[in-house]
Amino acid sequence: MSAIRLALVGLGKIARDQHLPAIAATPGIELVAVASRSATLDGVAHFATLADLLASGEAIDAVALCTPPQGRRELAGMALSAGKHVLLEKPPGATVSELGPLVAAAQERGRTLFATWHSRFAPAVEPARAFLSEVPPRAVRVTWKEDVRVWHPGQRWIWEPGGLGVFDPAINALSILTAILPRPVFITSAGLDFPSNCAAPIAATLALADAGGLPVRAELDFLQTGPQSWDIVVETDRGTLTLAQGGAVLSLDGQVLSALPETEYRNIYKHFVELVAAGRSDVDLAPLQLVADAFLLGRRTLVAPFHE
């Protein structure tokens, strides 16, 4: 099978920091074009928009959408209609319901649609899942706190409707949670702090449970300074299991069980190549559904305005 000819749509911070090096390091896929209104890449064909790219006749097989989530549905539909495979950055869209027609379109056209959850590909996530498949969890505590000014500088879209606010990073925690726990969880209550000048929350507290009553508590914050907190702590009969550093390190009662270099995005593109070869799609909406449910049930509190 020849290498997948990929176009990257959107060339912002996440594309430059993660997608470009991952694509370059992944056998079976090559970057041949970029669509961006504000940035170019030396040696790669450039177009202002995806529509311009598709109209140009440039030979591509797939697109990776790294734009803000509010516009991904239209772009994904356009690419699928043109017979291209589609990789979606997380979150896969601005709403849950908009993804169903895209799944159907991919199936109808025999194309691959991959809704990526990069944190699920962190090295310690699978060992954590394997452990909890044998040792039932008794309680779970999630602490996901980071500095929006460091990770999303000047990205106003994150505070607009569909931008998710603090849930843009926190959905990573929910993607891990839904991967490692043996039973599905659901939101039972939520508290959402909205800056008075923003349409998305800057902090949140979630209570979740599974059908057996497993208590899950999540503390989410977008104003953490200093060391960042990306941790999931699970109490079990065999000890305290801690998945730290966003899924990079797994320990049991302080003893490290797994700690490997971060290869999340390389593994995403490796999986994408495998999906295309197998003619399959991979679209799990559970993390996005939990966010939607938090907005449905969340008690909203206005807090101080946010300024960069």
What are the DSSP calls for 223-292, one per residue? B--SS-EEEEEEEETTEEEEEETTTTEEEETTEEEEE----HHHHHHHHHHHHHHHT--B---HHHHHHH
Residue 35 is inside which H or E element, if any? strand 29-35
Residue carrying the six token digits 């069980």: 257
The pair of structure tokens assigned to 138 is 């008794």
End-to-end CA distance of the chain: 47
Is 90 a known active-site residue?
yes
CA dihedral of residues 15, 150, 223, 301 (deg, nearest 10): -40
Q: Which amino acid would we find at residue 216? A: V
Quote the DSSP letter at residue 94. S
Q: Which amino acid would we find at residue 40? A: T
The pair of structure tokens assigned to 172 is 């990573």
Q: What distances in angstroms separate CA 23 from CA 5, 47, 283, one per listed residue?
A: 11, 19, 20
Select which of 84, 90, 145, 270 is catalytic. Answer: 90
Active site residues: 90
